[in-house]
Structure 1
Amino acid sequence: MKIEAKKILDFLHFTENLKKLTRHSWLSDGRQESVAEHTWRISIMFILVEPHLGIKVDSLKTLEMIVIHDIIEIIAGDVWAFDAFNKETRELKIQREMAAIDEIRKTLDNETGEKFHALWHEFEAKETNEAKVANALDKLEAQIQHNEADISTWLDIEKEMLHMMHKHVEFNEFLIAFKEVIVEEGVEKLANSNSSEEALKS
């Protein structure tokens, strides 16, 4: 029993790295976001949107998938979404992440390790309702964070990506509506920024 407890403690020390690993996203106060913070808010999002989805999902499984899906970044690192448009970068990302989840499974060396491995692969496959919802919220949370950040942190490609989220939500009517209000907020932020720039020039 104590051996298993020590194994859990060691793995928790390992996961602290998600608190230190930063994403290409900034908070409204100007601080860069950690992967752990991103994961936490996706979990909150799921709890809030689940009653409105109108489809059957295993709540616990979905939350577990959300919580573990980025854990591989401790080993593989975080590849920014717009960098993944490059075929070579995307293929390398996949290779690194698959190796990372295999390493995590071996490190845990128990049923939990097998569970993490299975959940991660299910998330990546995007075939089950749970995986589709988790993936959609992952993308939507990233845009919400962009909307909250100062417009100066937005790259040009991120302004384009604001209008590229439909493919992630098209399977669900409520998530489509949720995506639309998020996009509207982003469009308004861009418009206000452009108005401010024009005012400064005049």
Structure 2
Amino acid sequence: MDKKVEKKLDDLFDFFREIDKEKLITRQTYLTGAVRYENDAEHAWHMAVMTLLLASYSNEKIDVLKTISMLLIHDLVEIYAGDTYAYAGVSREDQHNKESQSADKLFGMIPEEGKKLRALWDEFERADTPEARFAHTMDNIQPMMLNDYTRGKAWKEHEVHLHQILKRNEHTAEGSEVLFEYAKKKILAPHVGREVIDD
């Protein structure tokens, strides 16, 4: 085998082993049935499948593969930065800075391919493209859906209130108005009363 090819593959497989640690990053969202918490890798897989089937509801035409790629890698940085619970009160700036340092370290393991992954991660963070906006919609609705399926168990445990959920989702409709309206009606309203959600 060519030595350059072998070195390239060594680096890639080192990276693949490193990202396996994403399966160890526990989120604060319960799986359906509330049997245990979800991990980051499960979260990414779930959103990827959702995107395959929900992409037609995007406000704008999106590149589905690019969006799925973005969703599959956006939480890899939590291998070093850890998961930040959506309602923990951590500033977005602090979270971004911590995760950006993690992105430098992780994607720096594979400099050539890492540039592409880092660009996707940065695009997700900026949320300034149709793909990034839709990815954020998925990133917000997927845990909301699981909270609904567990009768709001994590929300109750963390004493999360409706105003916090609505604040967290103030940009969710920018990726898909239809899906956010659906989520308000079918996911949030049964927990808090329809008249509150429609305000």
Using structure 1 for the length normalisation, give the TM-score.
0.82
Relative distance call for 1:51 and 1:153 in structure 2 (3 A) is closer
Task: Indicate whether 1:168 and 2:167 are aligned.
Answer: no
1:45 to 47, 50, 58: 50
Q: Which moved more, 1:177-186 or 1:64-73?
A: 177-186
Q: 1:107: how far off?
A: 1.0
The aligned residue for residue 31 of structure 1 is 36
Aligned CA-pair RMSD: 2.0
Deviation readout 1:17-45 (Å, 9 max, x if unpaired): 11111001111232110011111111111
| Equivalence map 1:30-109=2 (5 Å) | 30-53=35-58, 55-83=60-88, 85-87=89-91, 90-109=92-111
> In the TM superposition, what is the alpha-carbon distance from 1:94 to its structure 2 partner?
1.7
Report the CA distance shift for 1:17/1:177 in structure 2 as closer, same or farther (over 3 A): same
Corresponding position of 1:4: 8
How many Å apart are 1:165 and its aligned residue? Answer: 5.4
Segments of 5+ residues of structure 1 without an aligned counterpart are 192-202
SS in 1 for 2:109: helix
What residue number does 2:145 align with?
144
More helix by share: 1
The CA distance in 2 between the partners of 1:17 and 1:113, in whole Å, is: 17
Please identify runs of 4+ aligned residues in structure 1 that moved more than 6 A. Answer: none
Per the alignment, do residues 43 and 152 of structure 1 end up closer, same or farther by CA in structure 2, a change over 3 Å counting?
closer
Identify unmatched segments of 5+ residues in structure 2: 194-199
Q: Which residue of 2 aligns with 1:13?
A: 17
Cross-structure match for 2:196: none
Quote the offset at 1:150 in angstroms.
4.2
Query: Secondary structure, in 3 states, of the residue corresponding to 1:25?
Result: strand
The 3 A distance-change label for structure 1 pair 104 and 166 is closer
Q: Which amino acid aligns with 1:113?
A: G
> Matches of 2:165 and 2:16 in 1, distance apart?
35
**Structure 1 residue aligned with 2:125:** 124
Deviation at residue 7 of structure 1 after TM alignment: 1.7
Partner SS for 1:79: coil
Report SS of the residue matched to 2:128. Answer: coil
Secondary structure of 1:170's partner?
helix
Tell me: CA distance 1:133–1:118, structure 2 relative to 1, closer, same or farther (3 Å).
Answer: same
SS of equivalent to 1:104? helix
Name the TM-score, length of structure 2 as normaliser. Answer: 0.83
Equivalent residues of 1:28, 1:150 under 8 A apart: no
Partner Cα separation in structure 1 for residue 107 and residue 151 of structure 2: 39
Q: Deviations over 1:34-77 (max 9, x none)?
A: 01111111111111111233522222221111111111000111
Q: Give the corresponding residue for 2:197.
A: none
| Number of matched pairs | 185
Q: CA deviation at 1:182?
A: 2.1
- Report the Cα offset of residue 168 of structure 1: 2.1
When residues 60 and 152 of structure 1 are mapped into structure 2, their CA distance, relative to the original with a 3 A threshold, is closer
CA contact 1:139–1:168 (8 Å) conserved in 2: no
